[in-house]
């Protein structure tokens, strides 16, 4: 069914034709959902404001930039391709709370997440998300 968006899987050719900023748009939402779900699971009784404060630590450009720098060596050639497309994309917006390099790396990270999500690479997304949790627990971002 075309409207079954939770079970969508696009082929690589179709995803390669997408703008890297569109991939980042999707990846941002997927990553935000992962972070929020993780935090609600970990801190079941935490107030929403405090959950939001914790989520910011994961999703701000600086954190995403640090995350992708640490995970870059674990990426396949195809994953690196999508990360670099996102990193090198010319955005019409300018970062408010990050420098341009951090913002670009964060955009690349989000494009990678968007690619993995749209192509149905759930196991790979889970691997990356678990790696991110380990990095956070070690205090590496």
Catalytic site positions = 28
Place of tokens 């050639």: 77
Quote the CA–CA distance of 88 and 107 in Å, as a whole number: 9
Cite the DSSP H helix spans in 43-121: 48-59, 61-71, 77-88, 100-118
Quote the CA–CA distance of 140 and 8 in Å, as a whole number: 33
- 74 Cβ neighbours under 8 A, 6+ residues apart: 131
Which pair of structure tokens corresponds to residue 82?
A: 């999508």
Nearest to 136 by CA among 47, 39, 20, 14: 39
């Amino acid at each position: 069914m075309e409207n079954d968006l939770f079970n969508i899987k696009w082929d690589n050719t179709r995803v390669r034709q997408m703008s890297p900023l569109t991939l980042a748009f999707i990846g941002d939402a997927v990553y935000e959902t992962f972070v929020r779900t993780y935090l609600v699971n970990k801190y079941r009784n935490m107030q929403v404001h405090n959950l939001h404060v914790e989520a910011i630590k994961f999703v701000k450009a600086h954190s995403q930039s640090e995350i992708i720098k640490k995970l870059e060596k674990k990426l396949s050639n195809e994953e690196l391709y999508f990360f670099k497309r996102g990193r090198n994309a010319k955005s019409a917006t300018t970062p408010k709370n990050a420098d341009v390099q951090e913002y670009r790396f964060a955009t690349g990270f989000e494009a990678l997440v968007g690619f993995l999500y749209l192509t149905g690479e759930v196991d790979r997304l889970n691997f990356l998300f678990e790696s991110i949790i380990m990095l956070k627990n070690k205090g590496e971002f």
